[in-house]
Structure formats: C-alpha cells, structure tokens
Chains A and B, each alone.
Chain A
Amino acid sequence: MIRIEPRQNVSHLYAFFVPVLAAVAALGLAAIPLYAAGADISSAYVSMWKGAFGSAFAVSELLTRATPLILTGLAAAVAFKAKLWNIGAEGQLYVGALAAVAIGSGAINAPPAIMIPLVMLSGMLAGGLLMLVPTLMKTKLGADEVVTTLLLNFIILLFVQMMLEGPMKDPMGMGWPQSEPMSPEATLPKLFARMRVHWGLIIALGAALLLYIIMTRSVWGFEMRALGENVSAARHAGIPVTATYIKVGLISGAMAGLAGVSEVAGLKGYLTSDISPGFGYSGIVVAMLAGLSPIGVIVAAVFIAAVFVGADSMSRAMSVSNYIADLVVALSLLCVLISSVFVRYKIRFITPRLPKAAREKEI
C-alpha cells in the first residue's frame, strides 16, 4: 500500500535540488519535440548551451533577457506568497513602460540623477496602481483576482496600442506605432561597452535583495506570509487583511511596472506594443521554480532566460521552431509543480497491519 505523508521538516538542500531536478527533467523532455521535428538531439542541446553560455556576448544577452524576468518573477513571488493571484504582470509591465516613456521622452528635462529615479518611480507607481484595481475588486467586491488580472492584460495591451497610434505616437517614427525615444538623461547606462546588458540588471538584483529582507525580516513580510498560510487565522491574529492585500498588490504591481521601465529605459529606448514576449507569464514560472523566494528568483530567471536565448540561437541554427522555448518553460512549470509533491510529502510503501494494541491482544 502506498501512503503519502507530510514531511515534518524539509532540509534546505532537498528543497534546493528538487527544482533543479525539475528544470533538468523539463529540458530532457524537450528531446521528444526535438525528435519529432527531425533535429539531431545531441547537437541541438550543444547548440542551446553555446547560444546561452558560449561567449561573453551570449552571457550578456542571457543577462539582458534575465533582467525583466527577475522583476516579473518577483512580482509573482510576492503576490503568490500571500496567495494573491496576480496573473496581470504582463499588463503591469506595459503600463510601467508607458509611464516611463510619458515622463522620460522629453516631458521633463533634468539631469540623470533626478530623471532615472523619477522614471523608475513613475513606472512602479503605474504598475502598482494598475494592480490596485483587481486587489480592491477582490477585497471590497469579492471578485476573483485571477480572472480580473488576466482580462486586464488584454485591456492594457489594447490601451497601449491606442496610445501608440494616437496621442503618444512618435511624429518622427516613419508612421510606425511607437513612442518617442527616451531622452539620454532618462536612459539606463549599459554595464559594458558593446554589450546590451544594462543597469536594469543591477536594479533588478537590488529589488530582489530588498524584497528578501522585507519578506523574511520585517513585520510586513510576516503579515504577507501569514495571509498566504491561512486568511482566517491571520484575521483572528489581528493582522489587517485588506491593508496587507493592498500592500502586496502595490509591491507586486510595482515590480512588474519596473520591468517595463527597465525594458524601455535600458534596452529598447522607445515603446512598441510588442516589447514583451510574455515576460509577465514567464515570471510566474520563474517564481514557482524559485519556490517563491526572492533570491531564488534570480537563479530561476537566469535559467528561464538561458532557455529562451539558447533556444533562439538553436532554432536559427537547426531550423527548429523557436516555440520549443515556450514548450520547455511550460514543462518546467509542470515539472516543478509535480516535484513539489516530493518536497512536501514523502511517499512510503507500507504493508497494512493491525495497530500495536490490537496485535498484543491477539497474542
């Protein structure tokens, strides 16, 4: 007979290795679609590895891709920890980017020391306020935030398209629906010459560290975790439930908004309506792989970025569709979910027998 028992205490080493195994399993399972596409499997993996880690340039591309994923991963991790299901990071990223170009493309002129914090703050505020809407709908009206945040993604993307074709369209943009470029003062500097990786990475790492401290060392963090464990117990313990949900929503939305700022101010230089290839959704996978830990998010974001960058270069070299990257990312989520069973529970094979007292009586 198989019995599933909860583990009393989970060793940190075990909790670390399980997501690693899940990531390896997801990469391994990718052999099936690669085989179906008729690709040479071993050279496909080599090509993916080289594409992600093969040169300084590849690593720079990898870190460039990891930057928004760290921030959207943090957005999901903070919210999920409190069981606030923010699936709207995609939309919050776009409003963050929109706020950044609204402020940073010439509306205000100031030195970088003022402009960059201003642009970051406005993006975070925009993302946070957008998340405030579904959070209040949840706490005041009881509307499920999963559906509202998901639907808001579509609304925001249309809104951004509307702005880029209308009031915020670049008159010098040759008719393309894109915003005016960010002013040099509002642009995040590159970290190295001739590499695309930029200061957004440092900001993302700082945000992860800050959130780690908030989550583990502050009263706020305690309240958020308590909410995630058991809402009614938290309420009875005197934790202000609504206020905590609002805090979580604001922080989560702000992180996703910051991802948008980092993309326009650090990488693209202007806003288009295809600036994010689903960073908001991949952030959920990052957060789950990280076990919702802010520091773990950094590692998980690098892994997911490596999958995207590696698969991109592999698909160019071997004519395999680059949807293979989305497939690996989705498989990672499912694998880490399944492996979480092994972290929380142990599976024991036992032979059923009578309780001890009953056995003694029989003798």
Chain B
Amino acid sequence: MEYLDILLNASFWQAAIRIATPLIFGVLGALICERAGVLNLGIEGIFVVGAMSGWMAVWLGASLWGGVAVAAGCGALFGLVHGILTVPLGLSQHVSGLGITMFATAASYYTYRTALPDVTSPPRIEAFKPLDIPMLSDLPFIGEALFSQTAMTFLALFMVLAVAFVLYRTPLGLAIRAVGDNPAAVEAQGLSVYGLRIGAIMAGSALMALGGAFLTMSAFDAFFFGMINGRGWICIALVVFASWRPGKALLGALLFGAFDAFQIRLQNEVGAAVPSQVFLMVPYVLSIIALVLVARKADYPRALLQPYFPGQR
C-alpha cells in the first residue's frame, strides 16, 4: 500500500515532471536531428555545454533568460560543427558525434576551470524559481504537481507543441521529414539538402543545450563536473522508444521521470537493505529495456546515417 501512496502523492508527480524536463528538451533535439537523417551523438557533450555556458552567462551578470539564450547559441554552434562534418563532408556520424561529445565536454570543463581556478565549492546563481500562478498553483494536486514548476519546464512543454506543429503542419517540417527519408526527392524539389540538414542539426543541438541549461539554472543553481551523467545517451534511447514523434517523446520522458522519481522514493522506503547503486542503475537499465522493447519494429528515418551528395546518383 505504501507504493500506492507514493503514486498518489502530488510531490511525486512534481519530481517526475522535474526529472523529465531536461529529457524532453534532449529527446526533442535528438528527434529533430534524426528526422533530418543525422544521428547526433554529440548530445551528451552539448548537454554539458548548455549547462556550463548558461550558468556561466548568468554568473557573469546576464539575466536568466539571457543565460538560456547563450546556452542555446552555444549548443547550436557545436551543432554547426557536427553538421559540417557529417553533411557536406559526409563523415561517419557515429565518430563525429563522439568527437563532438568529447570536444564539447573538455571545452566546457576547461573553460570552467580556467574561469574559476581555485574554487572548492561551486559558486551559486539565483536560479529560476517555481512559478506561482494565481488560482492554478493553488489547485489541489495538479497545482503542486504541474503548476509549481519553473518557467523552463513550461518552455519544454511548449517546445513539444512547437516541434510537433512545425514538423507536421508546415512546409518546412515536411521538408525536414523528407530530407531524412529521401534526400534525392528533396533535391528534386529544388530545396537544399545541406541547408535543411545543417539547420535541423543546429536547431536540435540548441534544444539539447537547453536540457543542460535546465540542470544548472533550474533544477540546481550551480555547475558540477560529471553532472550530465549519461542523460544525453538516455535521450538517444528514448527517441527510438518514441518512434521519432514529439508526442510520444513527451510521454516517454514523463514515463521515465516517473520511474526515476519512484525509485528515489523507494530507495527511502527500503533503506540500506539494498545497496544504493542498484537504484542508481535503474535509469540506465530502463533505457536499455525501452530500446530493446521497440527495437524490432522501430521505423528508423530511411536515410538516417546515410550521407547525401547532391548531383550524385
């Protein structure tokens, strides 16, 4: 019965949505890149860049939304590098992505250490506060679970709608989906395959960086080494689970957040009987299970991983 109590507690759902927020950004970002035909394994490093640059901007005196913009911009820049390497140069998307992750992570850590050579405890900023919406935040249950999140969570939820709208209701979205399925057809339409793919990677990378920025500017108020801890890789698994659809991506991230919040509470219930590491493994194990469950029937974008050179058959 205690387990049911956990699920009926509003603070549990509040935690689930909070844990899901960076994943929503990350899965949406990975989804846009892959829909355009490019796997972006730079995601883990771009999360770090977003977390570091957004936090650093605010620490240096920018406003919170200024920090968000800086994070998105830095993410897009790393996306541009990945785009140039994988689209016109047609290099291995796996290796390039891993290279971007290593480069972005090292560059972020180096910048942080160079700017703050001898701090022992990470300096803090005034992070986003939970919104206090009149009426809505006072609603029983829903008010605590949903309407006392920070503004970035609402930005993430808005992005789900925005990405879904662009992908399925605009000519641009049609072109992005087409370039990931059949780039030759897109070229025949007189559209630029390179432009669409690089643009999609930059937009997706900006979203990934927002996921990182959420961690340092909303969930916590400081930057730590190793704080991303595989969240990017989890997003790569979740995007397959979500079959490259924004709505399912939201669902997947929320489900994941709920499982993670549940194991944290379970950990408190069970106490020291089970080693804490067993619980810490849960997110990674869940991601593998999610991937295996859908792997057989996964409908990958048809041109994923395949470089395309205009004018060549």
Which residues of A pack against B, CB within 8 Å? 4, 33, 36-37, 85, 87, 137, 141-144, 146-148, 150-155, 158-159, 161-162, 165-166, 281, 284-285, 288, 319-321, 323-324, 326-327, 329-331, 333-334, 337-338, 340-341
Contacts and interface: CB of A to CB of B under 8 A. Distances in A.
B266 interface: no
Given A144-B291, A162-B275, A334-B85, A321 B237 contact: no
B229 A147 contact: no
A147 B287 contact: yes
Given A144-B295, A158-B277, A333 B102 contact: yes
Nearest to B311: A3
Contact of A158 (B94, B99, B280): B280
Contacts of A334: 81, 85, 96, 99-100, 103
Contacts of B288: 137, 143, 147-148, 151-152
Interface stretch (B106-114, B130-138, B203-211, B245-253): B106-114
Contact of B41 (A137, A146, A165, A338): A146
A285 B102 CA distance: 10
Interface in B59-101: 81, 85, 89, 91-92, 94-96, 98-100
B234 A330 contact: no
Contacts of B284: 151-152, 154-155
Contacts of A320: 114
State the main secondary structure of chain B at its contact with A. Answer: helix
Contacts of A158: 277, 280-281
B98 A37 contact: no
B228 to A, nearest CB: 11
Nearest to B312: A4
Interface in B222-266: 229-230, 233-234, 236-237, 240
Contacts of A159: 277, 281
Contacts of B8: none
B49 to A, nearest CB: 12
A321 B113 contact: yes
A41 B266 CA distance: 53
B105 interface: yes
B236 A154 contact: no
Contacts of B117: 319, 321
A150 B91 contact: no
B292 to A, nearest CB: 5
Given A36-B114, A87-B98, A147-B240, 18 more contacts: A137-B295, A143-B291, A146-B94, A147-B237, A151-B237, A151-B284, A154-B281, A158-B281, A161-B277, A162-B277, A288-B95, A326-B106, A330-B105, A334-B81, A337-B96, A338-B91, A341-B89, A341-B91
Interface of B: 41, 81, 85, 89, 91-92, 94-96, 98-100, 102-103, 105-107, 109-110, 113-114, 117, 229-230, 233-234, 236-237, 240, 275, 277-278, 280-281, 284-285, 287-288, 291-292, 295-296, 298, 309
Contact of B85 (A4, A141, A337): A337
A162 B280 CA distance: 11
A338 B233 contact: no
A162 B278 CA distance: 8
A155 to B, nearest CB: 5
B42 to A, nearest CB: 11
CB-CB nearest 9 A-B residue pairs: A321-B113, A326-B106, A330-B102, A330-B103, A162-B277, A143-B295, A323-B110, A333-B99, A327-B106
A151 B233 contact: yes
B280 A37 contact: no
B72 to A, nearest CB: 22
10 contacts: A4-B309, A33-B110, A141-B296, A142-B296, A143-B295, A154-B284, A281-B102, A319-B117, A326-B109, A341-B89
A225 B277 CA distance: 39
Contacts of B114: 33, 36-37, 320-321
A161 B287 CA distance: 21
Contacts of A152: 284, 288
A166 B296 contact: no
B291 A329 contact: no
Contact of B292 (A4, A143, A154, A165): A143
Nearest to B300: A144
Contacts of B89: 338, 341
Contacts of A319: 117
B99 A154 contact: no
Contacts of A331: 103
B265 to A, nearest CB: 19
A337 B99 contact: yes
Contacts of A141: 292, 295-296
A42 to B, nearest CB: 19
A154 B234 CA distance: 11
B256 to A, nearest CB: 13
Nearest to B102: A330
A350 to B, nearest CB: 13
Nearest to A329: B102
A323 B291 contact: no
Contacts of B110: 33, 321, 323-324, 326-327
A144 B94 CA distance: 12
A33 B110 CA distance: 8
Nearest to B238: A147
A142 B298 contact: yes
